[in-house]
Amino acid sequence: MQVNTELVGGTLVVTPDEVIEIDVGNSEAFKAMTLEAMAGHSWVVLDASPVSFFDSAGMGVLLSLKKQARNNGGDLALAGLRPAIFEIFQMIGFDAVFRIFPDSSKAVQEFNEGQP
């Protein structure tokens, strides 16, 4: 597993390079790779379309990534969540914690319009 990055305007898009489950077995590796990719970037979109599952460890990683983006003066948005994951995120209130977009292009557009 790796993450691909693309800088679009002032927003960094991070995408896992394969279909994955982010769980206790790989969540720390995913977190380390993503934090490294985020270095120096404030506005980050995680394109989660390749992610088929988040367990509680994976959800904890998302919170850590958001905290880092906020510490950098920006924010982290989620894009492309699969419907089953989105439903779970709604049930646990993650839709109130994260800005969630249907795809990364919509998230990038909103982030780039809102940056100073």
- Each domain of the chain, given as residue ranges in start order, spans 3-111
- How many Cα atoms are found within 13 Å in the side-chain-facing hemisphere of 15? 18
Model confidence over 70-92: pLDDT tens digits? 999 999 999 999 999 999 999 99
Model confidence over 9-43: pLDDT tens digits? 999 999 999 999 999 999 999 999 999 999 999 99
Question: What is residue 2's predicted lDDT score, i.e. its pLDDT?
Answer: 94
Pick the CATH number of 3-111 from 3.40.190.10, 3.90.320.10, 1.20.1250.20, 3.30.750.24: 3.30.750.24
pLDDT bracket for residue 115 (50, 70, 90): low
Question: What is residue 85's predicted lDDT score, i.e. its pLDDT?
Answer: 97
| Residue 83 contacts residue 49 (beta carbons within 8 Å) | no
Q: Is residue 36 classed exposed, middle or buried when 0-12, 13-18 and 19+ CB atoms within 10 A define those classes?
A: exposed
Is the pLDDT at 57 greater than 70? The verdict is: yes
Is the pLDDT at 116 greater than 80? The verdict is: no
Q: Where are the beta strands (DSSP E) in 26-69?
A: 43-47, 51-54
Q: What token pair was written down for 75?
A: 């924010």
Query: CB-based contacts of 26: which residues, under 8 Å, 6+ apart?
Result: 1, 20
Q: Is 40 helix (H, G, I), strand (E, B) or coil?
A: coil
Q: Is 93 helix (H, G, I), strand (E, B) or coil?
A: coil
Tell me the whole-structure pTM to 2 decimals: 0.94
Radius of gyration of the chain (CA): 13
Is the pLDDT at 65 greater than 90? The verdict is: yes
